[in-house]
C-alpha cells in the first residue's frame, strides 16, 4: 500500500497557480503574467486557473511571485490590444498561449510584425473569432418585452460562443440607455435599470420569455422587406449561421421565404407583364430598371453601371457573352468595344442581322484589375456567374428565344449550369432546362488575343462557320 502511494506521488508536480477571477479577467492575467515573465518563470510551470473551475488534479499549487519593483519591461501596444481580445476566447489554452508569446517578446525572440510566426497567427485567429462573436451578438440578440409591475423590462436570451458578454455590455448600454433591459446568457446575466449596470449569475433558456406583442409586428415587417432578388443562401448562412436562428423571431419565417423566393421572383415579372397588358417591351423595361440597382454580388461596387441586354424583346435568336468590357461599362451597352466590332463583322459575313437578335451577357457588371490608368478584364468566378443567372433567366422568360448562342465558356456555364470546354461543347445542340435550345462557340475577344496572324485568320473563319450553322438551325426552328 505504501509503495502504491509512493508511485502515485511521483506523478504529482509542483505548479505555480495563477488564479483569475473570471473567464474574461484580462487585468488579472496581465498583472500576473508581467510578474511571472519578469521572474523568467517558464510557461510549462504555470497553471492558469479560473476561480470556480477545477485545475490539474496532479498539480500541487504554489504561490505566484509578487510583482517586484523595477522588474517592468516594455510590451508592444499591439500585443496588449491582441491579448484583450484573445482572453475572451473559449479556448482553455488562451492564457498559456499569450504568456508563451509574451516571454518571447520580452526576450526579443518574436515580433508583432512577423506575420509568418505560427504562434502569432494562432493568437490573431483567436482574436478574429472573438471579434466576429462580438459582432454576431450585436446583430442577432433580440429583446422581448416583459411586464414589471406598472413598468416594462426588455429581456433577451443569448448564447455566445466566447466570453464576450461584459465586453458587449457597453454597446447595449449606449444603444438602449433609455429602457430597462436584461441580457441572459449561460455564463452570466447583465441588468440595466436605467441608472446602474449590474451582473447576476448565468441563466437558462427557460428563464427567458417566449414572445411579446411586438413580435408579430416585427415578423410582418421582416417578411415585407424580404427581397427574393437578393437571396444568396450560402452567403446568408455564412453571415447568420443556423445556431443563432432559435433566438431570433424573424428566422422562423426564413425557410418559407426562401422556399417561396423563386415563385416570388416569377411573380414580380408576371406582375410587370399583367400591369402592361402582356406587353413584353414594358416588362423588359421594368426588369432592366430593377437590374440597374442590382447588388447580388460585389461587382456593382466597382463597375460604372449595370450593362443590361438589348435588342428585340421577341427575337428568336439570343446571344449571351461573358461580361461587359471597359468600353461597354462606360457606354452602358453590350458588345460595342473591339470584341463587339469583330462580332458585328462576323455576323454580317454569316448572314445574320444583329438588329433582329437579342444580345446580352452572363454577368452584367464589368470585372477588372486596375493597372495604372488601365482597367484590365478579369474573368468572372462561379459565384459571380451564379449571382447573375437570375437576370439571364428573366431575360429568357421575356424574350423566349428559339435559339440561344453562348459566346465563350462563361456564357456556356451560365446557360448549361455546368463547367464545359469550348472544344467539347462546340457544334452540339444543347437542350436547356427551360426547354430552349443552345449552341456554343468562342467569344470574339478570344480571336483578338491570338498573336499569330495565320492562326487568328483560321479561328475567325471557324467562328463565322459556327454563326452560319446558327443561322441554318434558327431557320429550321422558326420554320
**Using CA atoms, how far apart are residues 391 and 437, in angstroms rounded to an integer?**
18
Q: Is the pLDDT higher at 475 or at 154?
A: 475
Q: What is the pLDDT of residues 398-450, one digit of tens each?
A: 999 999 999 999 999 999 999 999 999 998 999 998 888 999 999 999 999 99
Average pLDDT score over the chain: 84
Q: How confident is the model at residue 200 (pLDDT cuts 50, 70, 90)?
A: very high
Predicted pLDDT of residue 277: 45
Compute and round to an integer the Cα radius of gyration of the chain: 32
pLDDT digits (tens, 9 = 90+) for 337-385: 999 999 999 999 999 999 999 999 999 999 999 998 899 999 999 999 9
Q: Is the CB of residue 119 less than 8 Å from the CB of residue 104?
A: yes
Q: What is the pLDDT of residue 67?
A: 52
Is 121 a residue whose pLDDT tops 70? yes
| pLDDT confidence bin for 206, thresholds 50/70/90 | confident
Reported as a pLDDT band with limits 50, 70 and 90, residue 207 is confident
Whether 64 shows a pLDDT value over 70: the answer reads no
List the Cα angle 134/136/142 in 5-degree steps: 110
Q: What is the pLDDT of residue 175?
A: 85
E strands, 218-315, are: 310-311
User: DSSP for 287-318?
Assistant: HHHHHTT--SSGGGGTSSS----EE-TT-SEE
Name the nearest CA neighbour of 322 among 286, 352, 359, 354.
Answer: 359
- List, for residues 312-335, the tens digit of each pLDDT value: 999 999 999 999 999 999 999 999
Residue 119 has pLDDT above 80, yes or no: yes
pLDDT tens figures, 19-39? 999 999 999 999 999 999 999
Residue with cell 433591459: 181
- Which H or E element spans position 214? helix 213-225
CA–CA gap between residue 69 and residue 53 (Å, rounded): 31
In order of their start, the domains of the chain are 13-134 (no CATH), 141-207 (no CATH), 213-259 (no CATH), 283-478 (3.40.470.10)
Q: For residue range 93-115, what is the model confidence (pLDDT) as tens digits? A: 999 999 999 999 999 999 999 98
Instruction: Judge whether residue 5 has pLDDT over 50.
Output: no
pTM above 0.75, yes or no: no
C-alpha cell recorded at residue 187: 455564463
What is residue 181's three-state secondary structure? strand
- State the pLDDT at residue 225: 40
DSSP run (H or E) holding 403: strand 403-407
At 233-268, the pLDDT tens digits run 555 555 556 555 556 554 554 555 555 555 555 565
Band the pLDDT of 221: cuts 50, 70, 90.
very low
pLDDT at 150 over 60: yes
Average pLDDT over residues 190-194: 91
- Kindly indicate the confidence band of residue 141, based on its pLDDT and cuts at 50, 70 and 90: confident
Percent of the chain's residues with pLDDT above 90: 63
Amino acid at each position: 500500500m505504501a509503495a502504491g502511494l509512493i508511485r502515485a506521488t511521483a506523478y504529482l508536480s509542483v505548479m505555480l497557480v495563477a488564479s483569475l477571477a473570471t473567464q474574461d479577467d484580462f487585468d488579472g492575467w496581465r498583472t500576473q503574467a508581467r510578474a511571472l515573465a519578469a521572474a523568467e518563470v517558464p510557461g510549462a510551470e504555470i497553471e492558469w486557473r479560473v476561480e470556480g473551475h477545477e485545475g490539474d488534479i496532479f498539480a500541487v499549487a504554489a504561490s505566484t511571485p509578487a510583482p517586484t519593483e523595477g522588474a517592468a519591461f516594455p510590451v508592444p501596444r499591439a500585443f496588449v490590444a491582441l491579448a484583450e481580445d484573445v482572453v475572451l476566447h473559449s479556448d482553455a489554452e488562451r492564457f498559456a498561449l499569450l504568456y508563451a508569446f509574451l516571454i518571447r517578446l520580452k526576450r526579443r525572440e518574436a515580433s508583432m510584425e512577423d506575420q509568418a510566426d505560427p504562434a502569432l497567427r494562432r493568437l490573431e485567429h483567436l482574436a478574429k473569432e472573438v471579434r466576429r462573436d462580438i459582432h454576431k451578438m450585436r446583430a442577432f440578440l433580440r429583446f422581448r418585452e416583459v411586464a414589471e409591475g406598472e413598468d416594462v423590462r426588455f429581456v433577451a436570451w443569448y448564447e455566445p460562443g466566447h466570453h464576450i458578454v461584459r465586453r458587449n455590455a457597453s454597446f447595449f448600454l449606449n444603444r438602449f440607455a433609455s429602457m430597462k433591459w436584461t441580457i441572459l446568457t449561460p455564463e452570466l446575466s447583465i441588468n440595466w435599470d436605467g441608472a446602474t449596470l449590474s451582473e447576476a449569475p448565468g441563466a437558462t433558456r427557460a428563464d427567458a420569455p417566449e414572445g411579446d406583442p411586438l413580435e408579430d409586428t416585427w415578423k410582418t415587417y421582416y417578411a415585407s422587406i424580404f427581397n427574393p432578388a437578393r437571396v444568396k443562401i450560402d452567403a446568408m448562412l455564412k453571415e447568420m449561421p443556423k445556431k443563432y436562428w432559435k433566438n431570433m423571431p424573424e428566422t422562423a419565417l426564413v425557410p418559407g421565404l426562401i422556399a417561396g423566393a423563386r415563385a416570388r421572383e416569377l411573380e414580380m415579372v408576371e406582375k410587370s407583364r399583367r400591369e402592361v397588358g402582356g406587353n413584353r417591351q414594358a416588362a423588359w423595361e421594368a426588369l432592366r430598371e430593377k437590374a440597374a440597382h442590382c447588388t447580388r454580388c460585389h461587382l456593382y461596387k466597382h463597375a460604372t453601371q449595370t450593362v443590361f441586354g438589348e435588342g428585340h424583346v421577341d427575337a428568336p435568336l439570343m446571344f449571351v457573352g461573358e461580361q461587359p468590357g471597359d468600353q461597354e461599362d462606360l457606354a452602358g451597352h453590350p458588345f460595342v468595344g473591339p470584341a463587339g466590332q469583330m462580332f458585328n463583322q462576323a455576323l454580317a459575313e454569316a448572314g445574320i442581322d444583329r438588329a433582329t437578335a437579342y444580345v446580352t451577357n452572363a454577368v452584367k457588371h464589368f470585372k477588372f484589375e486596375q493597372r495604372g490608368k488601365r482597367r484590365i478584364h478579369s474573368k468572372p468566378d462561379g459565384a459571380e456567374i451564379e449571382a447573375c443567372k437570375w437576370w439571364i433567366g428573366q431575360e429568357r422568360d421575356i424574350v423566349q428565344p428559339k435559339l440561344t448562342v453562348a459566346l465563350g465558356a462563361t456564357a456556356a456555364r451560365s446557360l448549361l449550369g455546368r463547367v464545359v470546354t469550348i472544344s467539347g461543347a462546340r457544334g452540339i445542340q444543347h437542350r436547356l432546362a427551360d426547354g430552349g435550345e443552345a449552341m456554343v462557340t468562342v467569344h470574339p475577344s478570344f480571336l483578338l488575343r491570338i498573336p499569330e496572324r495565320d492562326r487568328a485568320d483560321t479561328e475567325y473563319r471557324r467562328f463565322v462557320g459556327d454563326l452560319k450553322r446558327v443561322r441554318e438551325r434558327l431557320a429550321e426552328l422558326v420554320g
